[in-house]
Amino acid sequence: LVRRFAPIEQLRFCNSGTEATMDALRLARAHVGRDKIVKIEGSYHGHHDAVLMSTKPPIDAAGPVSRPNSVPASKGIPSDVKNNTIIAPYNDAEALERILTEHEGEVAAVITEAVLMNVGIMLPEEGYLESVREITRRHGVLLIFDEVKTGVTVAPGGITELYPVEPDLICLAKSIGGGMPIGVFGGREEVMRHINHQEVVHLGTFNGNPMSMRAGLVTLTQIFTPEAHAHAIGLSKQLGEGYVWDIDMHLSYAYWLFLANRGILFPPGFDDQWTVSIQHTQADIDHHLHVFHQFVSELTR
């Protein structure tokens, strides 16, 4: 992982993406000495209190586009938590600048998915990530990339292989474990040393357990090779080109049932992205697109 992800000098293992982002934020607060964090509206970083804010806020509660409100996404979150979680819009560096200026000296970290995944897939506009890096550095704020979903899927080395931006901390999980529970957070040594010096607590009975470590090692070295990644990306592009970009949400469950009855299984929820794996074949993609065209034909009869 250190070889794949340039920003990682040291890392710690945990058991999920939720744990990874939770520990990374605690570490950031300790390093910077501030309490508040900034997260992106619509992003999902796990189900711990600090980040379970404004994942899908009701329109009447969301607030202005350029300065969203902090809206708890679940009951049971203490009311004062939202005071320390500030919401920023995605792809708006100027809004982030205003927020950090308004809260100068109060914010420890900005946590973001470089590619916003919880709203479908939203790519960063040209120059956005570079601006976020410059702004956070200038305000003395750590930048955390949540690569739990993007990780080794967008590229063998994640987002930082595709964009010339290095965050201070990176969070990983999901695919790097080959199906076993795993999470990772890592980054610059000067930040990670707070754990090494026992200034920040990081504990867990199953952290770095042998089964997950072995599964992760085999996944990254023998299964998810550069050649396998290129294969999956090629199939993914072909599948994406077979669909139009507008989504008729009211047809989603009928669509899911139609495909499920023809041997194509994927999560039925609105939030669940399709994921092409290295086990999929050209025949799988051809069958998927064929059934999709059947579905469209049935709708237009």
Maximum distance among all alpha carbons in the chain? 68
Q: State how far the alpha carbon of 115 is from the alpha carbons of 36, 106, 130, in Å.
A: 23, 26, 13
Q: Which of 23, 39, 44, 92 is catalytic?
A: 44
Q: Dig out the tokens for 42 from the structure.
A: 């619509």
Euclidean distance between CA atoms 63 and 75, whole angstroms: 19
With CA atoms as reference, report the closest residue to 205 among 19, 10, 14, 12: 14
Looking at residue 219, the DSSP 8-state letter turns out to be I
Q: Dig out the tokens for 297 from the structure.
A: 């034909």
Identify whether 75 is a catalytic site residue.
Answer: no
Identify whether 146 is a catalytic site residue.
Answer: yes
Q: Count the neighbouring beta carbons within 10 Å of the beta carbon of residue 20.
A: 30
Q: Which of 39, 146, 149, 168 is catalytic?
A: 146
Euclidean distance between CA atoms 150 and 116, whole angstroms: 9
Identify whether 174 is a catalytic site residue.
Answer: yes
With CA atoms as reference, report the closest residue to 13 among 219, 222, 198, 180: 180
In this structure, what is the dihedral angle of CA atoms 176, 165, 119, 230, given to the nearest 10 degrees? -50
Give the SS3 label for residue 257: helix
Q: State how far the alpha carbon of 221 is from the alpha carbons of 147, 166, 217, 247, 298, in Å.
A: 19, 24, 6, 37, 45
Return the active site residues: 44, 146, 174
